[in-house]
Each structure stands twice: as C-alpha cells, then as structure tokens.
Structure 1
Amino acid sequence: MIDFKSDKSYFKEYSLRLIFQNVVMGLMMAADKIIGTMFIGVNTLVAINLIGPMQLMIYAISTLFMSGLGSYAGFLLGRKDVDKANQASSMTLFVLAGTMGFITIVVMLFSESISYFVGARGEILEITTKYLFYVSWGFMAMVLAAALDVLIMNDGSPSFIMKVNVFSTVLNLMLNLVFVAFLNWGIFGLVIATTLSNIVHLIISSYYFAFKCKTIKFVTPRINIEVLLRILYNGSSDFIGMFSEGFKRYIINIAIIAFLTPKHMEAYSVVSMFIIIFISSIFYGIAQGLQPIFSKMMGAKKFERLKPLLKYSVKQSNFIALAVFLAALPFMKVLLGFFLSDPETVKIGFYIYLTYGLATLFENLPNAAIMFFTAINRPLESIIFSVSRTIFLLPVLTYLSIYMFGQSGLMIGTLSAECIMILASYKYLKPLAIEKIQIVE
C-alpha cells in the first residue's frame, strides 16, 4: 500500500519545482533570444516564432508516446506491477527513438517547404529554412531526454528533473554566447548550442535512469502491440492537445500576417514568449508535476484524493500566475526594448501583453482538466476537451476576433474561448464520481 502525502506537500514537492524549472528555463531562453536578436537580427525571432507551431506539432508526436507512457507507468506502479512498467517503458523508448529518426529525416528533406507553409516569405523564409534544417539535428536528443524525464518523475525524483533541466538551459545560454556572440556563427551557432545542450541533458538523464532510479529500470525491449496501443491510446489526448496547440498558434500567426502589420508580428513574437514564461509555464508546471501523482492515486484506488488535489493545485497556480503577471507589468516595456528598437512596436507589444496576457490567465482550469483525465487513464475526455478548445474554439474565435477587432481580437477571442471551456470543465468535473468511471485495460 502506497502512503500518499497531503495536497500541499505534493504541490510543493512536484508542482512548485516544475514551475521554478519552467520559469528559469523560460528566462534563460529569453536571454538566449536576446543574443540572437542582437547578433543576428529581429527577423531571427520572427522566424523562430513562425516555425514554433510546426515544432509543437512534431513534438506532439513524441508526446503521443511520452504522455501515454507516463500515465500508464504511474498507473502500474500504483498497482505495484513494476515488471510490467519496466517492460512498457523500455519498449516505448525503443519505438520512440525509431519514430523520431524518421521524422528528423523528413524535416531535413522538406525544411524549405515546411517554412513556406507556416508563412515565411522573402528573407525570413531563408532564415526559417536554415533554422528548421539545423534544429532538426537535435530532435532525437531532445525527445529522448524528455521521455527519460517523464520516467524519472514517475520514479519519484522531481528534484533531479528540475536540476538537470535548469543546468542544460544555462549551458545552452553559455554556448550561445560562445557560438553566436563571440564566434559569430549566426543561426547555425544558435541551433548547435541547443543541440549540444540537449545531448548533455540526454547523457545525464540516461546515467541517472540506468544507475540511480529506485523502481523503473531499462530492460531488453520486447514489442507488445497490445501494450503499445494502450499507451498510444492514453497518450492520444495530450498528442491532440499539443498538436492542436501548434495549430492554434499557426492560425494566430496567419491572422496577424493577414489582418495586422509586420510591427504586430514582431511585437507578438516577443510578447508570446514572455506570456509563456510568466503565465503558461506556471500552468504547465502544475500539469507536468502532478501527473504521476494522479496516476498513482488512480492505480491505488485513492479516488477521494483526486478532485481535492486538482482543486487545490488550480487555486494555488492561479494565484501564482496572477502575481507574476502583475509583477512583470512595470518592467515589460524595458524587457520589450531588449528585442524591439522601434518605440511604436514596443507600445504595441505592451498592449498585447496587457490584454492577451490577461486573457491567458484564464487557461488554467481547461489545461488542468485535460491533464487530469490523461493522468487518470481517461483519454477520451481529454481528447474531447482538447479538440473543442484548441481545434475549434481558440483558433476560430481568435481568427474572427482579430479580423473584426484588430489587435484587441487576441484578447477577445482567447478570453471568449477560455470562458466557455471553464464553464464546460466545471460543469463536467463537479458532479463526476471518479470511483464509478471505467478504466481502459
């Protein structure tokens, strides 16, 4: 029988560490982009923003394996079925490596076509193509390192995950200073720094997984189609969620290009990065941190603990995100000035942060609900919530709102969609009797 701690203890041990990790990594990435903007140009940031949705869609494929494995392994560990968890983990890592190898080859061969598809034109098309071609070299290391992080988290070592992620991010920043600022390698240097830091991350996590994990171990992988389909089914919700998040960002980029000005595109490219750092990273930290706990509670049939922990984590993360959003507000124009030299563009960026950032504060419960159902091995609900939110409501309402209301449409569309999802999440979760729901075996 597993002894479970209090909600506050889990929030502090798992979620707060992941929040801290995500915010620090985000700040380091911002510094990383400052280097790129200063020594390569602001078009670099625009190119990275344009290719971002496609990277999310590619990463979503790996999430299909990683998220499904994380929830399934946690569920098995909750039932004390360690051997089955080890075999499932080893098989999934093997299949994931082959899948990412294939994706890397495809992206390298069609990098220019992909860059054109996401809206890059002219000089930005050339920059985007180079960036995507080079960054694809590191897909394998990035994805396998993230997969090992999921397993190590399930093994009960969130502090290690925080340390190795922060270390690799700081290393990425230092390598960028060397390759971009001092050696003047341009886009190539920017990507090589990221790839090398991901490789170091993978090496450290591989060593920990092989020699330090207490429960989960790598064994000789045996392909079990039934188990693999079970993992893919459970991971399908997060796959659709991340893929549709990439689709949403793609639609927003296209709407800004079509209905606003290049200055709005530059401003949005910078502001969206800060919104991810100051708001979204907090909400994602909650989801990532508590996923293994929800899965283990479900496996151990501690049904009465699930909804109270979800409620507690949503309340705490709402407070933290609002506090960080307000604390960053007085410094936002200064931060924008590091990336944007034109005063009018800075003014546009500040308005977008104030309005779109405020609307983003409402994404917490919808995100948490999607994560929650994946964690308790109920992917169907997660799929329905994900598709409704990021395939239909957010892209459609935001696109139409930008068309009708200009730059204010970012806030209006996002806020409208999230309010609808908050109402739907609350109405569904409040009366739900978790002890009566069926788990797919």
Structure 2
Amino acid sequence: MSMQEQEKENEQKQDQAYKSETTNDSAHELHDAQDKTKRMGSEPIPKLLAQFSIPAVIAMLVNAIYNIVDRIFIGKFVGEDALAGLTISFPVMMIIFAFAGLVGIGSSALMSIHLGKRDFKGVNQIFGNMITFGTLVTGATLSIIFINLDGIMNLFGATPDIITYASDYMRIILMGFIFQMYAFCLNGAVRTEGHPMLSMTTMLLSAITNIILDYIFIVNLGWGVQGAAIATISGQLTGLLFLLRFYFSGNSVVKLQPHDFIPRLSVFKNITSIGVSSFVTQLGTSVAMTFLNRGLGQYGGVGAITSMGAINSLFTLFIMPMIGLQQGLQPIIGYNHGAKSFDRVKGALKLGLTVSMLFSTVIFIALQVFPRVFISAFLDPTSETVDVAVKGLRIFILMLPLLGINILGTGFFQSIAKGHIAIMLGAMRQFIFLLPLVIILPQFFGLTGVWMATPIADAISILATAIALLYHFKETPSLAQEA
C-alpha cells in the first residue's frame, strides 16, 4: 500500500470513528462543516488566499480603527495631554493583548493542523481548552495589573500631567478585557474552520458599535477617555455575542462535550509552544514602547509622546492589512502542512509575500509624500507638534516596504507548529535589536535617534527572517519527493 493510500485510509477511519459519536442530524451538519475545511487542500492557492485574506484584511483594518477612532476623538475633543495618556497606556494594553495572542493564535494554528489531519476529536479538545486556558490567563493577568495599575503607569513613563488620563482609560479596558479575549480567540477559530466572512462581519459590527458610542460618549456626553474605553469594550462585547450565536447554531465543525473543557496540560503546552512567539513579540513591543516613550519624553517632551501616538496609530493602520494577510494564510498553510502538501504551503507563502510587498510599498510612498495630511487627522494642523510628528513618521516607516517578510515569516513558522523559530525571530527584533538601539542611539542623535531605532531593528529582523525561510525550504522535501 502506498503512503497516499495509507493516509487516506487513516483519514476515513478517523472520520468514521468521530461520526459514530454523534446523532444522524449532527453528523450531517458536521459533514457540511468539514467540507468547508477540505477546500483548503484542493482549491487554487490564489483563490483561497483571496477568499481568506480579503475578509481578514478588512477585519484587521477594522480592528485598527478601534485604537485610531479613540485617538482621533480624544485628540480632537479632549486634548493633546489626553492623547499622550493613551499613548502611555498602549504598552500596558500590548501586554494583555500578548496573552490573547498566546492563547488565540496558538489554538487556531493547532486547530488548522488537526483539521488537515482530519482529527476532529482533537479539534474539539483544543477548542474547549482554548476557552479554559483563556479564562485562567485573563483572570490571573488582569488581577495583577489592576491592583498595581498606577505604579505600572508610572513605570511605563507616565508624567503627572497625563497619568490620570492613562489610568482612567486602562481601568475600564481591564474590566472588559475578558470580552476581548474570548472575541479574539473565537475570531481565529471561525477563520480556521473556513468562515473568513463571519470573522470580518464580527469585526465590522464591533467597530461600528465602537465608533457610534465614541461619538455619543466623548462628543455628546463629554466622558473623555473613560467614554472611549467604554465604547471599546462595548464594541468587543457586541462582536463576541455575534460569534457565540454561530457556535450555538450548530454550524461549526466544533461539537463540544463537557469533558473538552477539562484542562489538559498537554494541550496547554501545545497551544503555548505555538502561541508563545506572538506573546514574546507583543511583550517585546510593550517593553520597547516603554523605552521609546521614555526616550521621547526625555528628548522631546510631551509633544514627542503625543507625536508617537499619532505615528503609532498610522503605523498600526497600515500594518494591519499585512497581519490580516498573515491570518488569511494561517489556516491555508496549517491545513496543507498537516496534509503534507508542502508545494501548496510554499506557493501560498510566496504569493502572500508578493502581495504584502506591493501593498506596503504603495503605502510607504503615500506616507512619505503626504505625511502632514495623515498626521493632521490626529493633531491640530496649526500645532507645533505636527512638525515633530512629520519628521518622526518619515524615519519610523523606512523599512515598511519589506516588513511583510518579518510578519508573514513569523506567522508561517507558527502555522507549521515551529514555534521555537517564531519565538527566536520575535525575541531577536524586540529584545536583542530594538531595546539596545533605543537606549544607545538617542545618546548620539537625540530625538532623531529614538525614531531611528525602529527601522534599524526592522532591517536586521527582516534579514534574519529571510535567512530562516530560505533554510527551511531548502531542508523541506517537495510533494514529489514525499511521494
């Protein structure tokens, strides 16, 4: 019996064993759900990438709107000190989002691989443990941060002028973060199951809710940063309820039993081994942002910190499509890796990198040519801070055209369960390259040195990621060789 025939026989046995545990009606629903995942191993890669990445890109753009809308309303209707407060709170938010990435991204990648193997019982177990793990992690993390919030905000660079804004915003965000954790995890799961449009719709609902409530709470009611925070968590709750309706409808490939929620250390370990690279990257970003904010405050004052708020919002907005592309690739790469279709894995990554570089190059040109137009969306065009922000933006984005290599490359290694490589790449950028540069360069170049640290770290990280990818594909057999 050939290897392909043996694998096919194993798949059929797994399907039959799993379906025997369900009723006839639920088995029929499960078959329909499974058909949606099978197409990831058969349809043309360009078609799949469009089907999965376009909704994911739209969803991530919408996700960026959460932070951007808050900053636009705060900058325009509350003031620059309040915007600086939100900038200081961003590294703390990155820490708690790092835990969401640890659980959500790790679980989704693991589910994709098991779907490629047709191991549906394993998918159920991973999903149930994702919910349990997310609940435990959120409770522990938020308890620690909430109790020590003011001290943490001071540690992250808050000055007396802005600490009240930062703390008021973060207290409300922390109280509602459990909604964000669950929404993030379930969004990744529905994409993995082959429902990218559902994920996009969820994000749109969340963003629309956030924008409407931002206007009501900040402009009409004058609730300031607290209104922005309430609007954010209300939007996340709206998206979560929409996702829960899908899972309770019976249309999911996931068919949970109570025992699937029982914590299993082996599942936690596997989720963590894949998701920890996202955690390290996010944590490193938080630490780096802290040193960036301190350097900005030391060499440029509150105006430089405020400028960073506008720059980071723009950078996030235009990075999100690349992260959306990464998320669209993840189920395709994970499924085909699990099915040992290595040529399809390579083709998907190459196409993703091409699209990413074309998009980011266009955005880079637009930001370099019209920086003042973009910055003025967040700041008063007549403010002196605009000039500081324009100079900082032009330096900060210098490596944007090639940044997709690092983003998609790191996501690729997560998708094939090589978390140790993804961890290395994430840690190298944040801790080995960026942090020393943030500390050393300002001593020679002042405020310009603070802006320079990010593109230099990006350049080294891009090179390291490219080398890792080339080595991986050199060592990986093609589909023909496997056969």
TM range (shorter): over 0.9
Give the counterpart letter for 2:131 in structure 1.
L
Offset from partner CA, 1:373-429 (integer Å, 9 cap, x none): 111001111111111111111222243223322343345333322222222222232
Report the alpha carbon displacement of residue 197 of structure 1 after superposing the two structures with TM.
1.2
Q: TM-score when scaled to structure 2?
A: 0.85
Which of these residues, 45, 65, 73, is aligned with residue 111 of structure 2? 73
Q: Does 1:103 align with 2:145?
A: no
For residues 240 and 399 of structure 2, what CA distance do their matches in structure 1 show?
36
SS in 1 for 2:161: helix
Give the counterpart letter for 2:476 in structure 1.
I
1:345 corresponds in structure 2 to 385
For residues 428 and 224 of structure 1, what CA distance do their matches in structure 2 show?
32
For residues 444 and 356 of structure 2, what CA distance do their matches in structure 1 show?
33
Q: Please give the residue correspondences for 1:218-297 in structure 2 after superposition, counting only pairs within 5 Å.
A: 218-220=256-258, 221-278=261-318, 280-297=319-336
Q: TM-score when scaled to structure 1?
A: 0.93
SS in 2 for 1:261: helix
For residues 302 and 389 of structure 1, what CA distance do their matches in structure 2 show?
31
Flag the 1:232–1:30 CA change in 2: closer, same or farther, 3 A: closer
Report the alpha carbon displacement of residue 362 of structure 1 after superposing the two structures with TM.
3.2
Report the alpha carbon displacement of residue 181 of structure 1 after superposing the two structures with TM.
0.9
Q: Does 1:139 align with 2:180?
A: no
Which of these residues, 91, 95, 98, is aligned with residue 57 of structure 1? 95
Q: Does 1:130 align with 2:168?
A: yes
Q: Please give the residue correspondences for 1:30-429 in structure 2 after superposition, counting only pairs within 5 Å.
A: 30-211=68-249, 213-220=251-258, 221-278=261-318, 280-329=319-368, 331-341=370-380, 342-410=382-450, 412-429=452-469
Report the alpha carbon displacement of residue 212 of structure 1 after superposing the two structures with TM.
5.1
SS in 2 for 1:123: coil
For residues 64 and 414 of structure 1, what CA distance do their matches in structure 2 show?
24
Give the counterpart letter for 1:6 in structure 2.
P
Give the counterpart letter for 1:275 in structure 2.
F
For residues 222 and 73 of structure 2, what CA distance do their matches in structure 1 show?
11
1:439 corresponds in structure 2 to none
The more displaced of 334-343 and 68-77 is 334-343
For residues 135 and 184 of structure 1, what CA distance do their matches in structure 2 show?
18
Contact 1:91 1:222 survives alignment (8 Å) = yes
The more displaced of 95-104 and 190-199 is 95-104
Contact 1:264 1:345 survives alignment (8 Å) = yes
The more displaced of 384-393 and 35-44 is 35-44
The more displaced of 330-339 and 93-102 is 330-339
Give the counterpart letter for 2:203 in structure 1.
N
For residues 62 and 271 of structure 2, what CA distance do their matches in structure 1 show?
31
> Which structure: larger Rg?
2
Flag the 1:217–1:407 CA change in 2: closer, same or farther, 3 A: farther
Contact 1:37 1:44 survives alignment (8 Å) = yes
For residues 323 and 83 of structure 2, what CA distance do their matches in structure 1 show?
23
Flag the 1:422–1:325 CA change in 2: closer, same or farther, 3 A: closer
Flag the 1:408–1:230 CA change in 2: closer, same or farther, 3 A: same
Contact 2:364 2:400 survives alignment (8 Å) = no
Report the alpha carbon displacement of residue 185 of structure 1 after superposing the two structures with TM.
1.7
Report the alpha carbon displacement of residue 210 of structure 1 after superposing the two structures with TM.
2.3
For residues 173 and 161 of structure 2, what CA distance do their matches in structure 1 show?
18
SS in 2 for 1:173: helix
Flag the 1:254–1:393 CA change in 2: closer, same or farther, 3 A: same
The more displaced of 185-194 and 324-333 is 324-333
For residues 245 and 210 of structure 1, what CA distance do their matches in structure 2 show?
36
The more displaced of 218-227 and 88-97 is 218-227
Contact 1:358 1:411 survives alignment (8 Å) = no
Contact 2:409 2:466 survives alignment (8 Å) = no
Contact 1:270 1:339 survives alignment (8 Å) = yes
Flag the 1:24–1:59 CA change in 2: closer, same or farther, 3 A: closer
For residues 310 and 90 of structure 1, what CA distance do their matches in structure 2 show?
30
- Deviating runs (4+, > 3 A) in structure 1? 327-332
Give the counterpart letter for 2:116 in structure 1.
G
For residues 435 and 411 of structure 1, what CA distance do their matches in structure 2 show?
42
Contact 2:172 2:230 survives alignment (8 Å) = yes
Give the counterpart letter for 2:372 in structure 1.
K
The RMSD of aligned alpha carbons is: 2.0
Contact 1:389 1:421 survives alignment (8 Å) = yes
Contact 1:91 1:223 survives alignment (8 Å) = yes
Give the counterpart letter for 2:416 in structure 1.
I
Q: What residue ranges of structure 1 are gaps of 5+ in the alignment? A: 437-441
Flag the 1:353–1:136 CA change in 2: closer, same or farther, 3 A: same
Give the counterpart letter for 1:210 in structure 2.
F
Identity %: 21
The more displaced of 342-351 and 373-382 is 342-351
Offset from partner CA, 1:53-73 (integer Å, 9 cap, x none): 121112212222212111111
Contact 1:151 1:216 survives alignment (8 Å) = no
Which of these residues, 461, 464, 476, is aligned with residue 434 of structure 1? 476
